[in-house]
Amino acid sequence: MKKKESFLRFTFTLVIITVLFSSTTFILSTILSLFSLSLSIIIIVPVFFFTATSVQHYILLSSSGEKEAKHFIRYFMASTGLKLFVFTIILVIYALLFRSSAKGFILYFLASYLIFTSFEIYSLLKFFSSLRLAEKES
Protein backbone atom coordinates (compact mmCIF):
# COMPACT_ATOMS: atom_id res chain seq x y z
CA MET A 1 0.00 0.00 0.00
CA LYS A 2 1.39 3.39 -0.96
CA LYS A 3 1.86 6.17 1.57
CA LYS A 4 -0.69 8.53 0.02
CA GLU A 5 -3.32 5.82 -0.22
CA SER A 6 -2.60 4.73 3.33
CA PHE A 7 -2.87 8.29 4.64
CA LEU A 8 -6.17 8.91 2.83
CA ARG A 9 -7.63 5.70 4.22
CA PHE A 10 -6.34 6.62 7.68
CA THR A 11 -7.87 10.10 7.47
CA PHE A 12 -11.23 8.78 6.30
CA THR A 13 -11.38 6.25 9.12
CA LEU A 14 -10.23 8.88 11.61
CA VAL A 15 -13.09 11.18 10.55
CA ILE A 16 -15.53 8.35 11.24
CA ILE A 17 -13.95 7.65 14.65
CA THR A 18 -14.06 11.37 15.51
CA VAL A 19 -17.75 11.70 14.61
CA LEU A 20 -18.72 8.48 16.41
CA PHE A 21 -16.73 9.41 19.51
CA SER A 22 -18.19 12.93 19.66
CA SER A 23 -21.72 11.65 19.05
CA THR A 24 -21.43 8.97 21.70
CA THR A 25 -20.05 11.48 24.20
CA PHE A 26 -22.83 13.94 23.38
CA ILE A 27 -25.48 11.25 23.92
CA LEU A 28 -23.94 10.07 27.19
CA SER A 29 -23.41 13.59 28.50
CA THR A 30 -26.46 15.49 27.32
CA ILE A 31 -29.27 13.04 26.76
CA LEU A 32 -28.47 10.39 29.38
CA SER A 33 -26.80 12.85 31.80
CA LEU A 34 -24.15 10.34 32.83
CA PHE A 35 -21.54 13.08 33.21
CA SER A 36 -21.30 16.79 32.59
CA LEU A 37 -19.30 18.25 29.71
CA SER A 38 -20.06 21.35 27.73
CA LEU A 39 -20.90 20.99 24.06
CA SER A 40 -17.83 23.00 23.09
CA ILE A 41 -15.56 20.56 24.96
CA ILE A 42 -17.34 17.59 23.38
CA ILE A 43 -16.55 19.03 19.94
CA ILE A 44 -13.16 20.70 20.48
CA VAL A 45 -11.31 17.79 22.13
CA PRO A 46 -11.94 15.21 19.36
CA VAL A 47 -11.18 17.80 16.65
CA PHE A 48 -7.94 18.62 18.47
CA PHE A 49 -7.03 14.93 18.64
CA PHE A 50 -8.02 14.43 15.00
CA THR A 51 -5.63 17.22 13.98
CA ALA A 52 -2.77 16.12 16.23
CA THR A 53 -3.11 12.47 15.20
CA SER A 54 -3.31 13.30 11.50
CA VAL A 55 -0.22 15.50 11.61
CA GLN A 56 1.76 12.94 13.57
CA HIS A 57 0.66 10.11 11.27
CA TYR A 58 1.64 12.10 8.17
CA ILE A 59 5.09 12.87 9.62
CA LEU A 60 5.61 9.24 10.57
CA LEU A 61 4.56 7.97 7.14
CA SER A 62 6.91 10.48 5.53
CA SER A 63 9.78 9.29 7.69
CA SER A 64 9.09 5.64 6.84
CA GLY A 65 10.71 6.14 3.44
CA GLU A 66 14.11 6.57 5.05
CA LYS A 67 16.62 3.82 4.31
CA GLU A 68 17.27 3.08 7.94
CA ALA A 69 14.62 2.12 10.48
CA LYS A 70 16.33 4.21 13.15
CA HIS A 71 15.07 7.38 11.43
CA PHE A 72 11.47 6.26 11.82
CA ILE A 73 12.07 5.24 15.43
CA ARG A 74 13.65 8.61 16.16
CA TYR A 75 10.68 10.47 14.61
CA PHE A 76 8.19 8.25 16.42
CA MET A 77 9.81 8.70 19.83
CA ALA A 78 10.30 12.45 19.37
CA SER A 79 6.76 13.09 18.16
CA THR A 80 5.23 10.93 20.88
CA GLY A 81 7.30 12.63 23.58
CA LEU A 82 6.41 16.09 22.28
CA LYS A 83 2.75 15.14 22.04
CA LEU A 84 2.69 13.86 25.64
CA PHE A 85 4.42 17.01 26.87
CA VAL A 86 1.94 19.31 25.10
CA PHE A 87 -1.03 17.24 26.28
CA THR A 88 0.19 17.34 29.87
CA ILE A 89 0.53 21.13 29.70
CA ILE A 90 -3.03 21.40 28.33
CA LEU A 91 -4.38 19.24 31.17
CA VAL A 92 -2.53 21.18 33.86
CA ILE A 93 -3.62 24.57 32.49
CA TYR A 94 -7.24 23.43 32.21
CA ALA A 95 -7.18 21.99 35.73
CA LEU A 96 -5.79 25.23 37.14
CA LEU A 97 -8.25 27.47 35.29
CA PHE A 98 -11.42 25.38 35.63
CA ARG A 99 -11.13 23.41 38.86
CA SER A 100 -14.84 22.56 39.07
CA SER A 101 -14.99 20.76 35.71
CA ALA A 102 -11.40 19.52 35.60
CA LYS A 103 -12.13 15.91 36.57
CA GLY A 104 -14.60 15.32 33.73
CA PHE A 105 -12.38 17.10 31.22
CA ILE A 106 -9.29 15.11 32.21
CA LEU A 107 -11.17 11.80 31.95
CA TYR A 108 -12.58 12.79 28.55
CA PHE A 109 -9.16 13.95 27.37
CA LEU A 110 -7.51 10.69 28.47
CA ALA A 111 -10.25 8.60 26.84
CA SER A 112 -9.72 10.58 23.64
CA TYR A 113 -5.98 10.06 23.89
CA LEU A 114 -6.37 6.30 24.28
CA ILE A 115 -8.82 5.94 21.40
CA PHE A 116 -6.91 8.10 18.92
CA THR A 117 -3.47 6.77 19.85
CA SER A 118 -4.65 3.16 19.68
CA PHE A 119 -6.02 3.73 16.20
CA GLU A 120 -2.82 5.45 15.08
CA ILE A 121 -0.62 2.60 16.31
CA TYR A 122 -2.95 0.03 14.71
CA SER A 123 -2.74 1.92 11.40
CA LEU A 124 1.04 2.16 11.52
CA LEU A 125 1.38 -1.55 12.26
CA LYS A 126 -0.97 -2.35 9.39
CA PHE A 127 0.98 -0.06 7.04
CA PHE A 128 4.34 -1.62 7.91
CA SER A 129 3.01 -5.17 7.66
CA SER A 130 1.70 -4.38 4.16
CA LEU A 131 5.17 -3.01 3.27
CA ARG A 132 6.80 -6.25 4.45
CA LEU A 133 4.36 -8.32 2.41
CA ALA A 134 5.04 -6.22 -0.69
CA GLU A 135 8.81 -6.65 -0.21
CA LYS A 136 8.46 -10.43 0.14
CA GLU A 137 6.33 -10.67 -2.99
CA SER A 138 8.75 -8.69 -5.14
Digit-coded pLDDT (tens) for 94-135: 999 999 889 889 999 999 999 999 999 999 888 888 877 766
Digit-coded pLDDT (tens) for 43-77: 999 999 999 999 999 988 888 765 666 778 888 89
Q: How far apart are CA 7 and CA 123, in angstroms?
A: 9
Question: Is the model's pTM score more than 0.75?
Answer: yes
The CA–CA distances, whole Å, from 51 to 30, 46, 48, 124, 135 equal: 25, 9, 5, 17, 31
At 138 the pLDDT is: 62
